[in-house]
Amino acid sequence: MEALSCGERRLGSEEEDAAPAVGVSLCDSAPLVWRMRDLRAIRARGLVGALLGSLPRTPRQNGRLGRPLLLLPEEEGLLRERCAAAALPDRCQDGGGAELRQQYEEEEKRSFEEQSVLALEDRKLALLRAMTGAESGAASADEALRRRLQALDQNFTFPQSAMAVQLSTARAGLSYCPEARAFLQTYGPTGAEPRCDARYQVFRDLRGRGFYLTSAGKFGGDFLVYPGDPLRFHAHFIAVCVSLDESVCLLDVLAVARLGSNVKKTVLLCSPGPGATVCYTSLQWSGMI
Amino acid sequence: MYADFRAPRRRLRVTEELEAPLPLSPRERSHFQAELLNQHVLVCDPQHSQKIHDQGYFGKGVLSRSRPEHSISNQWEQHEGVFLPVVSQARYEELLKWAGSALSAQGWDEEAVHQTLLRLSQPIQMEDVRNQMGGGGEAEENGERGKEEPEQEGGVSPQMKRSRRGSEVEPEAKRSCSSEQDSDSSLDCDPDSDPDPAPAPLVPGPGFLLVVSDSETGGGVREVRRTPFFLSEYLQLSLEEAFFLVYSLGCLSVYLQQEPLSIVQLWRTFRSLRPDFVSSYAVYHHFRSKGWVPKGGGGAKYGVDLMLYRKGPPFYHASYSVVIERADNAFRASPLRPFSWRSLAALSRITANVSKELMLCYVIYPADLSEAELDSPVCLRRLKVQEMIVSRWVSSRERAEQDDI
């Protein structure tokens, strides 16, 4: 068993308590965090979460994602336990949907009208250039040109699908939601009972030692354990949580140990014991580094 | 998304040739013999074990990785025209110690053991070696005498080199086996597993080896000594393989304490040894009948029950990793191996990493199958087998391929 240690300065508890509470929006029991200030507060506590949203400027990729941040149930539990987060009621989450939509539609219509006028101008100019460039006849050319321009005026339609749509990349409303703020200030977060399942105990223990934890569904484990911020370090461990009285199939242990060795991480079998202690067993497949 | 069937990957270095698998033509009706010892099925006769392994890749040598090919040393050298195995001084002394403890276990007193070991570890002259090679025929009779004679144990009676593989007796585990074969002495020497010798250097019988003294690193002085201790190697068959050879091919009989077991008795014995024997045998039989070679032992390396090879392990890498599950008609029975998302994700990923395909093989039991029916192999015809391949889909990879298109 390795001694788990991490050389990171932990936030003093006074600093954590003084920080304002984080508002968590629940979407069908998935805890989401939308506001930048809240995301920064959560990261400062050493909780990573997972970004889910797409970025407006680069929508067709999932290498870099944007807000909202999805919290692990254990992360949400930890925040609630430390009285640092509260679930926002539904009316705050809507963010004034109906009026915003109307506003958006009006803006779109205005933009469409402007764009169709501009498009018509563009076509006329192009036609002029083409006609005057091609022929240099005097009267008949002007006559033909005038007729063409007239036809264009009458028959030109600017299709809706060709309209350029502007996406706002900084939405003012997201960070500033007065209702949510008021709610948090009035009611405040209530401390919740710490959960007693194995995963939560292990999460709390490892976070308390200063490790950063993310979800390890890809690796067949429960958590990926980083010695520092995940943006700066690779994961060292794959934590698999089993309770002490649970029987595990040997083939499952072999599979996860072999997988850990293939991806160069140590597998940790974590079992919460009596009291607040957690017992760790590390596995490595000898013969493979 | 369509099921993707990939061709089996050939191994880089193939050093064997494929023989026709069992069963052979009706003229050569082979009949092999195996013993059921301590809940394992062992084939002791080296000729049988070689044939069983070569024709269908059944079983595994107990001292080797796959084929029973244990030899006293991996390194053989020519020494004055004779090909001998080479062992280090430390290994030689270890073999001497084993010989000594084997003799003491037989009840010899310390003085006799000590004397015998001293005599055994005298250096041998090459003329003696060559003489004994020549006089192999007479020495064969000497070797068959009883165990009390001290000259007979160790490498004393080198028979003429035969073409069969190693088969020396390992006393502690196989004592019961040797007691059945009364004619052999417990340290009887059968020929070591000799590779085919080059025509020029002769290979003597197994009784000799070259001992390298490991005093200096460079030049080790080599001395010819007798081999003090032999390890015999058996072929171990898994329960499914043994039952397949007995029941489906009819070329093996399994003896329990010198009594051959009938098919039904064997079925019941195996079912008592392993509770899921019916399911695992049904799956084994299913894949054998399709021409795959299922190997059970190596599956643990990849976290599964069986690996499927095309033609055999020496030729191709395993194509499928099979997990055996049981189900009733409505897929409701408790599974043999309950998967959680976590364990299935790990298994699927490691299978993809080692370039195999994960297959779940469901054995479907009809609802009205009674315990009495399960007591005989006739119930196999009522079982159905459903194969399901599980593959891993990575969304970002998929999109990258589509973008290329």
pLDDT at res. A218: 86
Q: Tens of pLDDT along A25-56? A: 888 888 999 888 889 999 999 999 999 998 88
Which residues does chain B have within 8 Å of residue A220's beta carbon, measured at their own beta carbons?
A: 342-347, 349-350
Q: Which of B234, B356, B362, B365 is catalytic?
A: B356
User: A223 CB near a chain B CB, below 8 Å?
Assistant: no
Flag whether pLDDT at A18 surpasses 60: no
Cβ contacts of B322 within 8 Å, gap of 6 or more = B283, B287, B294, B299, B304, B305, B306, B307, B308, B359, B360, B361
**pLDDT of the residue at A126:** 86
> Would you say the pTM of this structure is higher than 0.80?
no
* Cβ within 8 Å, pair A251-B346: no
Task: Determine, for residues B350 and A219 on separate chains, whether the beta-carbon distance falls below 8 Å.
Answer: no
* Inter-residue contact B289 to B23 (CB < 8 Å): no
Interface of A with B in 62-121 (CB under 8 A): 62-63
Helix (H, G, I), strand (E, B) or coil at B74: coil
pLDDT at B348 over 90: yes
Q: Quick one: average pLDDT of B9-33?
A: 76
What is the model's pLDDT at position B167?
33
Percent of chain B with pLDDT over 70: 73
Helix and strand numbers, DSSP H then E, in chain B: 12, 15
Q: Which of B341, B346, B396 sits opposite A255 (nearest CB)?
A: B346
DSSP 8-state secondary structure symbol assigned to residue B311 = S
Question: What are B253-288's pLDDT values in tens digits?
Answer: 999 988 899 999 999 999 999 989 999 999 999 999
* Cβ–Cβ under 8 Å, residues B79 and B61: no
State what percent of residues in chain A have pLDDT above 90: 27
* Angstroms from A258 CA to nearest CA on chain B: 7
d(CA B234, CA B53): 11
Catalytic residue among A104, A109, A218, A234: A234
pLDDT of residue B145: 36
Q: Which of A219, A240, A254 sits opposite B303 (nearest CB)?
A: A254
Q: What single DSSP character describes residue B11?
A: P
Predicted confidence band at B184 (pLDDT cuts at 50, 70, 90)? Answer: very low
Token couple for A211: 């490790």
pLDDT band at B179 (very low <50, low <70, confident <90, very high): very low
CB contact under 8 A, A219 and B345: yes
User: Which one has a higher pLDDT value, A127 or B380?
Assistant: B380
The string of DSSP letters for B337-373 reads SPPPHHHHHHHHHHHHHTT-EEEEEEEEEPTT--HHH
Average pLDDT of span A174-191 = 62
More confident residue, A47 or A275: A47
Q: What's chain B's average pLDDT?
A: 75
Catalytic residue among B40, B147, B311, B317: B317
Inform me whether the pLDDT recorded for A87 exceeds 90.
no
> What are the CA-CA distances from residue B368 to residues A179, B328, B363, B365, B371 (Å)?
65, 10, 15, 8, 10
Q: Which residue has the higher pLDDT, B139 or B57?
A: B57
Residue B160: is it exposed, middle or buried by C-beta count within 10 angstroms (0-12/13-18/19+)? middle
CA A75 to mean position of chain CA atoms: 15
Strands B60-61 and B40-43: unpaired
Residues of chain B contacting A255 with CB distance shorter than 8 Å: 302-303, 343, 346-347, 350
A234: annotated active-site residue: yes
Lowest-confidence segment of A55-64, A77-86, B21-30 by average pLDDT? B21-30
pLDDT band at B297 (very low <50, low <70, confident <90, very high): confident
How far is Cα B341 from Cα B339, in angstroms, rounded to an integer?
7
pLDDT of residue B186: 34
Using a CB–CB cutoff of 8 Å, tell me whether A287 touches chain B.
no
Q: Please state the ipTM of this predicted complex.
A: 0.70
Query: Exposure of B21 by Cβ count < 10 A (0-12 exposed, 13-18 middle, 19+ buried)?
Result: middle
